[in-house]
Amino acid sequence: MSILIDKDTRLLVQGITGREGLFHSNKMMNYGTKIVAGVTPMKGGDWVLNGKVPVFDTMKRAVKATGANCSVIFVPARFAVDAMLEAIDAEIPLIVCITEGVPIQGMMRVCNYMDHKTACLIGPNCPGLITPGECKVGIIPGDITEQGRVGVVSRSGTLTYEVLYALKQHGRGVSTCVGIGGDPINGTSFIDILGLFEGDPNTDRVVLIGEIGGTDEERAAEYISDHMTKPVIALIAGKTAPPGKRMGHAGAIIEGGSGLAADKIRVLKNAGVAIAEYPEQIPELID
Protein backbone atom coordinates (compact mmCIF):
# COMPACT_ATOMS: atom_id res chain seq x y z
CA MET A 1 0.00 0.00 0.00
CA SER A 2 3.02 2.27 0.39
CA ILE A 3 6.77 2.25 0.70
CA LEU A 4 9.05 2.04 3.76
CA ILE A 5 6.42 2.76 6.46
CA ASP A 6 2.86 1.62 7.05
CA LYS A 7 0.49 0.73 9.86
CA ASP A 8 2.77 -2.09 11.01
CA THR A 9 5.75 0.21 11.56
CA ARG A 10 6.95 -0.01 15.17
CA LEU A 11 8.59 3.32 15.78
CA LEU A 12 11.31 4.22 18.25
CA VAL A 13 12.13 7.88 18.94
CA GLN A 14 15.76 8.79 19.71
CA GLY A 15 15.79 11.92 21.84
CA ILE A 16 12.18 11.42 22.90
CA THR A 17 12.52 13.42 26.11
CA GLY A 18 13.80 16.54 24.36
CA ARG A 19 11.49 19.46 23.50
CA GLU A 20 11.35 18.68 19.76
CA GLY A 21 11.27 14.95 20.26
CA LEU A 22 8.37 15.04 22.67
CA PHE A 23 6.38 17.59 20.63
CA HIS A 24 6.58 15.58 17.43
CA SER A 25 6.16 12.23 19.17
CA ASN A 26 2.78 13.52 20.34
CA LYS A 27 1.85 14.56 16.81
CA MET A 28 2.99 11.23 15.36
CA MET A 29 1.06 9.28 17.98
CA ASN A 30 -2.06 11.35 17.39
CA TYR A 31 -1.72 10.61 13.70
CA GLY A 32 -1.89 6.92 14.52
CA THR A 33 1.78 5.95 14.37
CA LYS A 34 2.69 3.09 16.70
CA ILE A 35 5.40 4.52 18.93
CA VAL A 36 6.81 1.62 20.92
CA ALA A 37 9.85 3.12 22.60
CA GLY A 38 11.99 6.16 23.21
CA VAL A 39 15.70 6.39 23.89
CA THR A 40 17.46 9.07 25.92
CA PRO A 41 20.69 8.16 27.70
CA MET A 42 20.38 8.46 31.49
CA LYS A 43 16.57 8.65 31.30
CA GLY A 44 15.92 4.91 31.03
CA GLY A 45 12.97 3.76 33.13
CA ASP A 46 10.87 6.89 32.54
CA TRP A 47 7.56 6.74 30.71
CA VAL A 48 6.37 9.50 28.37
CA LEU A 49 3.33 10.39 26.24
CA ASN A 50 0.86 9.94 29.07
CA GLY A 51 2.74 6.96 30.40
CA LYS A 52 2.24 5.00 27.20
CA VAL A 53 5.83 4.86 25.91
CA PRO A 54 8.83 3.50 27.85
CA VAL A 55 12.18 5.28 27.69
CA PHE A 56 15.46 3.33 27.50
CA ASP A 57 19.08 4.33 28.01
CA THR A 58 20.42 2.52 24.97
CA MET A 59 19.15 1.43 21.58
CA LYS A 60 20.10 -2.21 22.02
CA ARG A 61 17.97 -2.53 25.12
CA ALA A 62 15.07 -0.65 23.55
CA VAL A 63 15.05 -2.76 20.39
CA LYS A 64 15.33 -5.98 22.32
CA ALA A 65 12.47 -5.03 24.63
CA THR A 66 10.06 -3.62 22.04
CA GLY A 67 10.91 -5.04 18.62
CA ALA A 68 11.11 -1.54 17.12
CA ASN A 69 11.77 -1.69 13.36
CA CYS A 70 12.11 2.02 12.60
CA SER A 71 13.86 4.82 14.43
CA VAL A 72 13.46 8.57 14.12
CA ILE A 73 16.21 10.84 15.45
CA PHE A 74 15.46 14.19 17.12
CA VAL A 75 18.68 14.61 19.13
CA PRO A 76 20.72 17.84 18.92
CA ALA A 77 23.23 18.05 16.04
CA ARG A 78 26.23 17.32 18.24
CA PHE A 79 24.80 13.93 19.21
CA ALA A 80 23.31 13.01 15.85
CA VAL A 81 26.28 11.06 14.49
CA ASP A 82 26.34 8.94 17.63
CA ALA A 83 22.60 8.43 17.42
CA MET A 84 22.83 7.19 13.82
CA LEU A 85 25.72 4.85 14.60
CA GLU A 86 23.88 3.51 17.63
CA ALA A 87 20.78 2.85 15.54
CA ILE A 88 22.88 1.05 12.90
CA ASP A 89 24.56 -1.05 15.59
CA ALA A 90 21.15 -1.93 17.03
CA GLU A 91 20.25 -3.24 13.57
CA ILE A 92 17.28 -0.95 13.02
CA PRO A 93 16.37 -1.48 9.35
CA LEU A 94 14.98 2.04 8.74
CA ILE A 95 16.59 5.07 10.38
CA VAL A 96 15.20 8.57 9.85
CA CYS A 97 17.34 11.50 11.02
CA ILE A 98 15.40 14.75 11.30
CA THR A 99 18.26 16.66 12.96
CA GLU A 100 19.68 19.61 11.03
CA GLY A 101 23.30 20.79 11.18
CA VAL A 102 25.11 17.45 11.32
CA PRO A 103 28.86 17.78 10.54
CA ILE A 104 29.67 16.60 7.02
CA GLN A 105 32.66 14.48 7.96
CA GLY A 106 30.57 12.86 10.66
CA MET A 107 28.11 11.88 7.93
CA MET A 108 30.97 10.52 5.84
CA ARG A 109 31.88 8.25 8.73
CA VAL A 110 28.26 7.19 9.15
CA CYS A 111 27.98 6.35 5.43
CA ASN A 112 31.29 4.51 5.51
CA TYR A 113 30.06 2.50 8.49
CA MET A 114 26.71 1.80 6.83
CA ASP A 115 28.45 0.31 3.80
CA HIS A 116 29.11 -2.77 5.95
CA LYS A 117 25.50 -2.99 7.09
CA THR A 118 22.04 -3.34 5.66
CA ALA A 119 20.32 -0.39 7.31
CA CYS A 120 18.49 2.24 5.28
CA LEU A 121 19.05 5.82 6.43
CA ILE A 122 16.77 8.73 5.50
CA GLY A 123 18.25 12.19 6.13
CA PRO A 124 19.72 13.90 8.02
CA ASN A 125 18.13 17.36 7.86
CA CYS A 126 14.89 15.98 6.48
CA PRO A 127 11.19 16.20 7.35
CA GLY A 128 10.78 12.44 7.42
CA LEU A 129 8.09 10.29 5.82
CA ILE A 130 4.35 10.03 5.74
CA THR A 131 2.08 7.30 4.43
CA PRO A 132 -1.26 9.13 4.72
CA GLY A 133 -3.83 7.39 6.85
CA GLU A 134 -1.32 4.88 8.18
CA CYS A 135 1.85 6.25 9.64
CA LYS A 136 3.94 9.38 9.91
CA VAL A 137 7.60 9.39 10.92
CA GLY A 138 9.05 12.86 11.35
CA ILE A 139 7.57 16.33 11.16
CA ILE A 140 5.44 16.49 8.02
CA PRO A 141 2.10 17.99 9.12
CA GLY A 142 -0.50 15.24 8.97
CA ASP A 143 -3.42 17.38 7.82
CA ILE A 144 -1.94 18.69 4.56
CA THR A 145 -2.12 15.43 2.68
CA GLU A 146 -4.41 12.45 2.24
CA GLN A 147 -4.31 8.90 1.00
CA GLY A 148 -3.87 8.53 -2.75
CA ARG A 149 -1.66 7.21 -5.52
CA VAL A 150 1.03 9.86 -6.02
CA GLY A 151 4.50 9.14 -4.65
CA VAL A 152 6.49 12.18 -3.49
CA VAL A 153 10.24 12.33 -2.91
CA SER A 154 11.98 15.54 -1.93
CA ARG A 155 15.24 17.11 -0.77
CA SER A 156 13.33 19.94 0.84
CA GLY A 157 11.11 20.52 3.91
CA THR A 158 8.44 23.19 3.70
CA LEU A 159 8.58 23.09 -0.09
CA THR A 160 7.39 19.50 0.26
CA TYR A 161 4.49 20.66 2.41
CA GLU A 162 3.64 23.23 -0.22
CA VAL A 163 3.51 20.50 -2.86
CA LEU A 164 1.47 18.12 -0.67
CA TYR A 165 -0.93 20.98 0.04
CA ALA A 166 -1.25 21.86 -3.63
CA LEU A 167 -1.94 18.21 -4.45
CA LYS A 168 -4.61 18.01 -1.77
CA GLN A 169 -6.23 21.25 -2.97
CA HIS A 170 -6.64 19.53 -6.33
CA GLY A 171 -7.99 16.34 -4.79
CA ARG A 172 -4.80 14.38 -5.21
CA GLY A 173 -3.69 12.01 -2.46
CA VAL A 174 -0.33 10.49 -1.78
CA SER A 175 0.86 6.87 -1.40
CA THR A 176 3.99 7.80 0.55
CA CYS A 177 5.95 11.04 0.80
CA VAL A 178 9.69 10.74 1.58
CA GLY A 179 11.84 13.72 2.49
CA ILE A 180 15.43 12.59 1.89
CA GLY A 181 16.96 15.78 3.26
CA GLY A 182 18.93 18.72 1.97
CA ASP A 183 22.43 17.98 3.24
CA PRO A 184 25.37 17.48 0.88
CA ILE A 185 25.95 13.99 2.23
CA ASN A 186 22.99 11.93 3.26
CA GLY A 187 21.74 8.37 3.37
CA THR A 188 19.09 7.42 0.84
CA SER A 189 19.17 9.20 -2.52
CA PHE A 190 16.49 9.94 -5.11
CA ILE A 191 17.17 6.79 -7.09
CA ASP A 192 16.68 4.50 -4.09
CA ILE A 193 13.21 5.95 -3.51
CA LEU A 194 12.31 6.11 -7.21
CA GLY A 195 13.06 2.39 -7.41
CA LEU A 196 10.74 1.69 -4.48
CA PHE A 197 7.92 3.74 -6.03
CA GLU A 198 8.39 2.01 -9.37
CA GLY A 199 7.85 -1.30 -7.62
CA ASP A 200 4.94 -0.16 -5.44
CA PRO A 201 1.56 -1.26 -6.88
CA ASN A 202 -0.20 1.60 -5.09
CA THR A 203 1.85 4.37 -6.67
CA ASP A 204 0.82 5.56 -10.14
CA ARG A 205 3.11 8.50 -10.66
CA VAL A 206 5.90 10.25 -8.81
CA VAL A 207 6.67 13.86 -7.91
CA LEU A 208 10.36 14.64 -7.43
CA ILE A 209 11.32 17.85 -5.64
CA GLY A 210 14.97 18.74 -6.17
CA GLU A 211 17.17 21.73 -5.77
CA ILE A 212 20.52 23.17 -6.79
CA GLY A 213 23.78 21.54 -5.72
CA GLY A 214 25.18 18.06 -6.12
CA THR A 215 24.27 15.58 -8.83
CA ASP A 216 21.40 13.68 -7.26
CA GLU A 217 18.88 15.00 -9.80
CA GLU A 218 21.16 14.12 -12.70
CA ARG A 219 21.51 10.57 -11.43
CA ALA A 220 17.75 10.45 -10.92
CA ALA A 221 17.27 11.52 -14.56
CA GLU A 222 19.51 8.70 -15.71
CA TYR A 223 17.64 6.24 -13.53
CA ILE A 224 14.24 7.46 -14.73
CA SER A 225 15.13 7.11 -18.38
CA ASP A 226 16.62 3.63 -17.83
CA HIS A 227 14.23 2.09 -15.31
CA MET A 228 11.03 4.03 -14.68
CA THR A 229 7.74 3.26 -16.42
CA LYS A 230 5.63 5.52 -14.21
CA PRO A 231 5.40 9.21 -15.12
CA VAL A 232 7.56 11.59 -13.09
CA ILE A 233 6.92 15.30 -12.50
CA ALA A 234 9.76 17.40 -11.08
CA LEU A 235 10.15 20.78 -9.42
CA ILE A 236 13.69 22.13 -9.04
CA ALA A 237 14.30 24.97 -6.57
CA GLY A 238 17.06 27.54 -7.00
CA LYS A 239 16.88 28.66 -10.62
CA THR A 240 17.66 32.21 -9.48
CA ALA A 241 20.29 31.33 -6.88
CA PRO A 242 23.69 32.90 -7.57
CA PRO A 243 26.64 30.43 -7.82
CA GLY A 244 28.96 29.97 -4.84
CA LYS A 245 26.50 31.19 -2.21
CA ARG A 246 24.95 28.84 0.29
CA MET A 247 21.17 28.98 0.21
CA GLY A 248 20.32 27.69 3.67
CA HIS A 249 20.53 24.03 2.89
CA ALA A 250 24.08 22.83 3.30
CA GLY A 251 23.53 20.93 0.07
CA ALA A 252 22.30 23.87 -1.93
CA ILE A 253 25.60 25.46 -2.83
CA ILE A 254 26.53 25.48 -6.46
CA GLU A 255 30.03 24.18 -6.87
CA GLY A 256 32.13 25.10 -9.87
CA GLY A 257 29.59 25.08 -12.67
CA SER A 258 27.88 21.82 -11.77
CA GLY A 259 24.74 21.58 -9.68
CA LEU A 260 22.94 24.39 -11.54
CA ALA A 261 19.15 24.24 -11.65
CA ALA A 262 19.18 24.78 -15.44
CA ASP A 263 21.40 21.72 -15.99
CA LYS A 264 19.23 19.58 -13.76
CA ILE A 265 16.05 20.69 -15.52
CA ARG A 266 17.59 19.98 -18.92
CA VAL A 267 18.60 16.39 -18.12
CA LEU A 268 15.30 15.68 -16.39
CA LYS A 269 13.40 16.96 -19.42
CA ASN A 270 15.54 14.75 -21.64
CA ALA A 271 14.58 11.82 -19.43
CA GLY A 272 10.92 12.54 -20.17
CA VAL A 273 10.16 14.24 -16.86
CA ALA A 274 7.53 17.00 -16.82
CA ILE A 275 8.93 20.12 -15.15
CA ALA A 276 6.78 22.34 -12.94
CA GLU A 277 7.70 26.01 -12.58
CA TYR A 278 6.06 26.33 -9.17
CA PRO A 279 4.22 24.08 -6.72
CA GLU A 280 0.67 24.84 -7.86
CA GLN A 281 1.57 23.68 -11.38
CA ILE A 282 2.23 20.13 -10.24
CA PRO A 283 -1.41 18.99 -9.95
CA GLU A 284 -2.05 20.41 -13.42
CA LEU A 285 0.86 18.45 -14.88
CA ILE A 286 -0.41 15.27 -13.23
CA ASP A 287 -3.86 15.55 -14.77
Partner 1 sequence: MKLHEYQSKRLFAKYGIPIPRGRVAATASEAKLIAEELGGRVVVKSQVLVGGRGKTGGVRLAHDAEEAEDLATQIMGMKIKGLPVRKVLIDEAANIRTEIYLGVANDRRARCPVMIASAEGGIEIEEVARTMPEKIIRLHLDPTQKLRRYQSFYIAQSIELPRDLWRDFYKIAYGLYEAYLNTDANLAEINPLVITDDGRLLALDGKMVLDDNALFLHAELEEMRDLDEEAPEERRARMYGLSYVKLDGNIGCMVNGAGLAMVTMDVIKLFGGEPANFLDIGGGAGAEKVSAALRIILSDPNVKAILINVFGGITRCDEVARGVLSALEEMESNIPMIARLVGTNEEGGRRLLAKSNMITAISLADAAQKAVAAVKKGDAE
The catalytic site residues sit at: 249
Closer of 87 and 206 to partner 1 (Cβ): 87
- Segment contacting partner 1 by CB under 8 A, of 1-9, 30-38, 209-217, 224-232: 209-217
CB of 206 closer than 8 Å to CB of 194: yes
Classify the phi-psi angles of 119: left when phi > 0, otherwise alpha if psi is within -120 to 50, otherwise beta.
Answer: beta
SS3 sequence of 161-193: HHHHHHHHHCCCCEEEEEECCCCCCCCCCHHHH
Q: Which of 54, 106, 128, 133 binds partner 1 (CB under 8 A)?
A: 106
Closer of 185 and 273 to partner 1 (Cβ): 185
Query: Is 262 one of the binding residues for partner 1 (CB under 8 A)?
Result: no
Q: Which of 35, 157, 208, 264 binds partner 1 (CB under 8 A)?
A: 157
DSSP letter string over 195-229?
A: HHHHH-TT--EEEEEEESSSSHHHHHHHHHHHH--
To the nearest whole angstrom, how small is the minimum distance from the Cβ of residue 34 to partner 1? 22
Q: Which of 22, 85, 120, 275 binds partner 1 (CB under 8 A)?
A: 85
- Segment contacting partner 1 by CB under 8 A, of 47-55, 66-74, 110-118, 170-178: 110-118
Query: Is 171 one of the binding residues for partner 1 (CB under 8 A)?
Result: no
